[in-house]
């Protein structure tokens, strides 16, 4: 009986080992193909989506690496380690235009603060009161909103000290951007999905462009969003200094398209592993999300403070920044 029992256990364990080996092999093959597709640069939306998620692919690679070590499949390390190194380089090291933070040795004379928030057509009175408290307590200079519901828009009109705005009294569609500020607006205009204003703050003319780029979740929206990014690039390269672009760009901070946008427009951002500010989706832990809401700016502006707010019910988190110049 003992020998039969031992044989039975050996057979079961051997079968389980074969199954676990097969599952691990499938994971490795799928992961390898996902990595290869994420590196391809064809005009296909699903390739772009994979490139948007290279950090999540990196986390998946680390998890798979641990499984390979646990199950002692060391030959697979030849494949998984180089892939993890490449993904880590792409997702963990900020691009050269993503580190425009203040120099502590320089005494900056002026500061401007901004909050951008895609409300997802959500309105909750209790949430709005908390948002209003944050805005008032931080004396935020510029507010940029996307996907604004009529109820949310109506309550924005009650904000104190924000007497200047663009689109506050208009009938907004899904892609419109609403901008409010404490400073007089010199000029304002709307071009397709872009809302641009110019303000004077302490004798400095500052341009703000608010936008809501289409999400590249199918081929037609991907191609449309590509044209929108090209239009934004043209708007910026004509004649802009002291510029801030804010809103839902629907491109992650590690994506090829976001980095290309910074390069082509000569704009800058502030992205750091010490201060992860992923904005979507709001229900996931911060490290598992992606940042698709952005504030990017001219080289003369320097980022000091950047954070997200976690207490609201939209699928996006508001993004708050303080910029010195």
Q: Which CATH number fits domain 111-324: 3.40.350.10, 3.40.190.10, 3.30.750.24, 3.60.10.10?
A: 3.60.10.10
Any idea where the domains of the chain sit in the sequence? Answer: 2-92, 111-324
- Name every residue whose Cβ is closer than 8 Å to that of residue 131 and which is 6 or more positions away in sequence: 117, 309, 312, 318
Which residue in the block uniquely carries the two structure tokens 């950047």?
Answer: 306
- Name every residue whose Cβ is closer than 8 Å to that of residue 206 and which is 6 or more positions away in sequence: 112, 198, 199, 200, 242, 243, 244
> Would the pTM count as exceeding 0.75?
yes
Question: Angle at the Cα of 278 (from 172 to 143), degrees rounded to 5?
Answer: 35
CA-based nearest residue to 113, from 154, 67, 144, 149: 144
**C-alpha 275: how far from chain center:** 13
CA-based nearest residue to 164, from 184, 147, 149: 184
Helix axes 54-70, 77-92, angle to 10 degrees: 150
User: What tens-digit pLDDT sequence spans the chain (325 residues)?
Assistant: 565 555 455 555 667 778 888 999 999 999 999 999 999 999 999 999 999 999 999 999 999 999 999 999 999 999 999 999 999 999 998 788 898 887 776 778 899 999 999 999 887 777 889 999 999 999 999 999 999 999 999 999 999 899 999 999 999 999 999 999 999 999 999 999 999 999 999 889 999 999 999 999 999 999 999 999 999 999 887 666 899 999 999 999 999 999 999 999 999 999 888 889 999 999 999 889 999 999 999 999 999 999 999 877 789 999 999 999 9
Question: Using CA atoms, how far apart are residues 6 and 218, in angstroms rounded to an integer?
Answer: 55
């Amino acid at each position: 009986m003992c020998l039969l029992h031992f044989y039975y256990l050996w057979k079961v364990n051997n079968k389980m080992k074969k199954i676990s080996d097969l599952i691990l092999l499938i994971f490795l093959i799928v992961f390898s193909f996902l990595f290869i597709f994420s590196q391809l640069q064809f005009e296909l939306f699903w390739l772009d989506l994979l490139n948007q998620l290279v950090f999540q692919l990196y986390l998946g690679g680390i998890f798979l690496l641990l499984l390979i070590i646990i199950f002692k499949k060391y030959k697979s390390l030849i494949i998984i380690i180089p892939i993890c190194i490449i993904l880590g380089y792409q997702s963990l090291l900020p691009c050269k235009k993503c580190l425009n933070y203040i120099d502590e040795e320089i005494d900056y004379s002026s500061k401007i603060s901004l909050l951008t928030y895609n409300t997802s057509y959500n309105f909750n009175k209790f949430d709005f009161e908390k948002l209003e408290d944050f805005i008032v307590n931080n004396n935020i200079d510029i507010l940029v909103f996307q996907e604004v519901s009529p109820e949310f828009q109506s309550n924005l009109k009650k904000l104190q000290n924000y007497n200047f705005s663009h689109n506050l009294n208009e009938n907004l569609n899904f892609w419109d951007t609403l901008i409010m500020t404490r400073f007089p607006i010199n000029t304002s205009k709307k071009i397709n999905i872009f809302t641009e204003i110019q303000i004077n703050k302490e004798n400095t003319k500052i341009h703000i462009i608010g936008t809501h780029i289409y999400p590249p979740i199918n081929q037609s929206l991907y191609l449309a969003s590509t044209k929108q990014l090209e239009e934004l690039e043209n708007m910026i390269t004509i004649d802009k200094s002291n510029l801030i672009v804010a809103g839902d760009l629907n491109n992650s901070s590690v994506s090829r398209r976001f980095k290309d946008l910074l390069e082509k427009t000569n704009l800058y951002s502030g992205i750091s592993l010490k201060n992860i500010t992923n904005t979507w989706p709001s229900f996931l832990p911060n490290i598992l999300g992606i940042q698709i809401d952005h504030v990017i700016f001219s080289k003369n502006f320097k980022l000091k403070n950047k954070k997200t707010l976690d207490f609201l019910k939209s699928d996006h988190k508001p993004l708050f920044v303080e910029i010195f110049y």
